[in-house]
Amino acid sequence: QVQLVESGGGLVQTGGSLRLSCAASGRIFSINSMGWYRQAPGKQRELVARITSEGSINYADSVKGRFTISRDNAKNTVYLQMNSLNPEDTALYYCNANIGIFRAIDYWGQGTQVTVSS
């Protein structure tokens, strides 16, 4: 009964910035990690950034130095600050949360569209 709700997507020009938010709600025992994935038309879903409960962070090579992931544990929320956006960043961005103490389960949001115009 966990729900992930994303927000912050939109249309931005090349070089612009957006900040995505994802709030988890429902039956949450423990959030082991939260992250962002994206999928562009004709391409596989790929990891963009992930942050664990311990604070470890992983970024895709393509976004390293431009994107920053952060979290607010009290709000069960993860953020993705995206700077220096380019058209290759255009994709549907999905929030992911790995939740559970005894049995960890991956949950996914519906996705928020990010479109970067030339």
Please report which confidence band the pLDDT of residue 6 belongs to, taking 50, 70 and 90 as the band edges.
very high
Partnered with residue 59 across adjacent β-strands are 49
Tens of pLDDT, residue by residue over 9-60, are: 999 999 999 999 999 999 888 999 999 999 999 999 999 999 999 999 999 9
Phi, psi angle pair for 112, to nearest 5°: -130, 135
Tens of pLDDT, residue by residue over 55-109, are: 999 999 999 999 999 999 889 999 999 999 999 999 999 999 999 988 899 999 9
Task: Provide the pLDDT for residue 105.
Answer: 94
- Helix or strand (DSSP H, E) at 99: strand 91-99
Please report which confidence band the pLDDT of residue 1 belongs to, taking 50, 70 and 90 as the band edges.
confident
Q: 3-state class of 106 per DSSP?
A: strand
Q: 3-state class of 96 per DSSP?
A: strand
User: Could you tell me the end-to-end alpha-carbon distance of the chain, in angstroms, rounded to an integer?
Assistant: 40
Structure tokens at 51: 């942050």
Task: Provide the pLDDT for residue 82.
Answer: 98
pLDDT, mean of residues 110-115: 98
